[in-house]
Structure 1
Amino acid sequence: MKSEEIARYLQDNPQFFEEHADLVSRIVIPHPHGGRTISITERQMLSLRDKNKLLEGKMDELLQFGEENDSISEKMHRLAVAMIAASTFQAVLHILNFHLRDDFAIPHVALRLWNRPENIDELPEFANVSEELQVFAETLGQPYCGSTAGFETSSWFGDAASHLRSQALIAMRNGGGTIGMIALGSEEAQRFYVGMGTLYLERLGEMASAALARVLR
């Protein structure tokens, strides 16, 4: 008989072990971590111990993720409260930069808005942006995370541009239309990487869009 046939027979006939209870105690098998042999009962205990260690590792990982999410949620709440209290364009910019730098440890933040209201001075945030980048922002279903290579957004970071290895680009929308973009830069290649979760980046974009649309109205 093939080993698969034996395994299938034992699965289909669990009474075999009741009928041959003495056989179970006499069968020995190789130790999974050494050269000696052990009983089936010992092998089962070792298997359960390994599974328990695996489950403990997964539980520790879940707890760590939970703690990290709680921390980020608290930071997002502080940012949201500060944004609500901001009454001017400059106040919103200051709050955004302060919280992202000090609370989220994001060293480089840049922002561009497509249209400058008449009552607002000419600021870097209203500098010209290529039509290509505006179309790219319009098509973003979620924030872009990855390399800075090939993006004009690198120039938004000034002298730090040559040192950046990753970025996140977040489209800002108001009433369905795209009004601008937030760029977050980092010297770490894995700070913003392709495939990372973007839920909090999306919320950041929504909060910034609402606050800016309110003060620029």
Structure 2
Amino acid sequence: MSTDIITHEQVARFLQDNPEFFAHYTELLSQINVPHPHSGQAISIGERQVLMLRDKARGLENRLKEFIQFAEENDAIGEKLHRLSLDLMRARDLESALQALYLNLGESFAVPHVAVRLWTGQPQDLPEFGPVSEDIRVMAEGLTAPQCGHSVPEEVRAWLGEAGPHQQSFALAPLKEANMKGLLVLSSEDARRFYPEMGTLYLQWLAELTGAALSRFV
């Protein structure tokens, strides 16, 4: 007499290889009960399948809601960048371009603190042309993309004035044009605002837009 024990894997493989099995034994579908995934009560296979489909549909619905939310957020950012572009294009000098930049970042993008430093081109009597150490210049010109995190050199923090010591997160975006080099600094007291793993595509576009606008006047 054989004492071989059929494993769960063998049963599963048999049913996969023989999908017509329940067509010949339809009464089993109503006789076999399985545990409810949440309550533990016994339910039929059909009921279990319905619950699985509902869970799957709920998961797909949640993913769709996330996609819609991301799309709406991206649309909003795109609209803000568009308005900033128009304001920068309308600027007739460097001071008005900088004012447009600071105003849009503060009001539209809700960035509490912004600083700009420029170290090439024709210097002007503006804070944005203040002294910048060689270390900061090398660091900024070595960036290939915006960098986000929770710490910056003390020199950069000092550009933010009295608010500098209270800042908890930063975004550093290099400004690179043929006739101008510089650094755009965004900061916040919220440590979650700019974090190392965040995407930087829009920051990159912001830096390119800012660099192109300011380079017209330096």
Aligned to 1:125: 128
How far is 1:116 from its partner?
5.1
TM-score, normalised to structure 2's length? Answer: 0.93
How far is 1:150 from its partner?
3.9
Counterpart among 31, 36, 52 of residue 26 in structure 1: 31
Confirm whether residue 210 of structure 1 aligns to residue 212 of structure 2.
yes
1:31-70 to 2 correspondences below 5 Å: 31-70=36-75
C-alpha distance after superposition, 1:170-214 (max 9, x if no partner): 000113x87000000100001001111111111110111001111
Name the amino acid aligned to 2:60.
L
| CA RMSD after TM alignment | 1.5
Name the amino acid aligned to 2:193.
R
Instruction: State the secondary structure of the residue aligned to 2:160.
Output: helix
> What is the rounded CA distance, in whole Å, between the counterparts of 1:59 and 1:144 in structure 2?
30
Size of the alignment, in residue pairs? 213
Task: Please tell me whether the aligned partners of residues 137 and 178 of structure 1 are also in contact (alpha carbons under 8 angstroms).
Answer: no
Confirm whether residue 8 of structure 1 aligns to residue 13 of structure 2.
yes
Instruction: State the secondary structure of the residue aligned to 1:60.
Output: helix
> What is the rounded CA distance, in whole Å, between the counterparts of 1:174 and 1:17 in structure 2?
71
Aligned to 1:164: 167
How far is 1:136 from its partner?
1.5
How far is 1:25 from its partner?
1.8
> What is the rounded CA distance, in whole Å, between the counterparts of 1:196 and 1:96 in structure 2?
22
> What is the rounded CA distance, in whole Å, between the counterparts of 2:160 and 2:216 in structure 1?
26
Name the amino acid aligned to 1:40.
I
Name the amino acid aligned to 2:63.
K
Instruction: State the secondary structure of the residue aligned to 2:131.
Output: coil
Q: Any runs of at least 4 consecutive aligned residues in structure 1 with deviations exceeding 3 A, and if so which?
A: none
- Sort the Cα spacing of 1:53 and 1:151 in 2 relative to 1 into closer, same or farther, 3 A: farther
> What is the rounded CA distance, in whole Å, between the counterparts of 2:120 and 2:143 in structure 1?
19
Aligned to 1:181: 183
TM-score, normalised to structure 1's length? Answer: 0.93
Q: Which runs of 5+ in 2 are unaligned?
A: 1-5
Q: Which runs of 5+ in 1 are unaligned?
A: none
> What is the rounded CA distance, in whole Å, between the counterparts of 1:83 and 1:149 in structure 2?
28
